[in-house]
Amino acid sequence: MIRKAVFPVAGLGTRMLPATKVIPKEMLCVVDRPAIQYVVEEAVEAGLSEIIFVISRGKEAILDHFDLSPELETELEARKKTALLEKVRRVSALVESLSAVRQKKALGLGHAVLTAAPLVGKEPFAVLLGDDLVQAEVPCIKQLADKALELKASVVAVERLPREKVSLYGVISGEDLGGGLWRVQGVVEKPRPEEAPSELAIIGRYVFFPEIFEYLRRIPRGAGGEYQLTDAVAAMIADGRPVYALEFQGTRFDTGNKLGFVKTILAYALRDPEIGEELRRYLREDLALL
């Protein structure tokens, strides 16, 4: 069983400034809930009941969002706003166990995951990055967790992207085992397109065994002067430890930049049972789109 999910949410969100000047980028609203809620919902649906946030100063709103809000609830109760009260209660009921640790310095994703080590302990765990939302029949992180338990090894999610787009990601090389599964042989963080070992980009979903922490402690600073998660994965592979990559089933949305964020909102709004149909009509008739 995998129970713990680590959410590194300490990043500054500079690509979405000025929206993220005061509000954490994870709290930007996608249709009717903050982006991070979709990712937490994915983890919970996959059976990950212990949520661990790696935060930094100014990110407390994320924790508050998943906590009880007694004043608001009392107020809604007094005003007999039952439906809204239910929505509010659903969010705090979502997370059974909520904890947080502070990453004091912005030293990279590898450093953020290592910061969670004392809360993770000696068991396999998931890592979910808040920028990536995934719509899938089986939650993306569950697809990874099932494979990780079956193979007893770490598994990262990958997506095949056009070569010119892979420079924003960690990129793997590997042996094709069929069914979207790869045995990873190498991984490079943000390669130039012509130097990328493949078109398989790592997206923000991982399942690790606790051995990853040994490697995170060992690696030097990498791309951008930061401690990179991909460098720890590369070090594990160099040591002969197996790591797999899975081309997950589903659609990923990148909320981490302006265009991606707007596309995400549109896609989620079109699927929304309350507003989807009217939005489709609006796009088609009033805006003469679609």
Chain residues in the site for ligand G1P (CB under 6 A): 109, 129, 131-132, 169-170, 189, 201-204, 228-230
Taking the least distance from each CB to ligand G1P, the nearer of 195 and 272 is 195
Taking the least distance from each CB to ligand G1P, the nearer of 52 and 129 is 129
- What H or E segment, with its residue span, contains residue 259? helix 258-271
Taking the least distance from each CB to ligand G1P, the nearer of 76 and 109 is 109
Rounded to whole angstroms, the Cα distance separating 210 from 197 reads: 27
Rounded to whole angstroms, the Cα distance separating 168 from 171 reads: 9
CB of 166 to ligand G1P, least distance (A): 9
Other Cβ atoms within 10 Å of 151 Cβ, number:
17
Rounded to whole angstroms, the Cα distance separating 290 from 281 reads: 9
CB of 233 to ligand G1P, least distance (A): 9
Rounded to whole angstroms, the Cα distance separating 230 from 258 reads: 25
Taking the least distance from each CB to ligand G1P, the nearer of 13 and 76 is 13
Residue in the shown chain whose Cβ atom is closest to ligand G1P: 170
Taking the least distance from each CB to ligand G1P, the nearer of 117 and 203 is 203
Q: Are 242 and 195 in contact (CB under 8 A)?
A: no
CB of 228 to ligand G1P, least distance (A): 6
CB of 113 to ligand G1P, least distance (A): 10
CB of 41 to ligand G1P, least distance (A): 19
Q: Are 155 and 144 in contact (CB under 8 A)?
A: yes
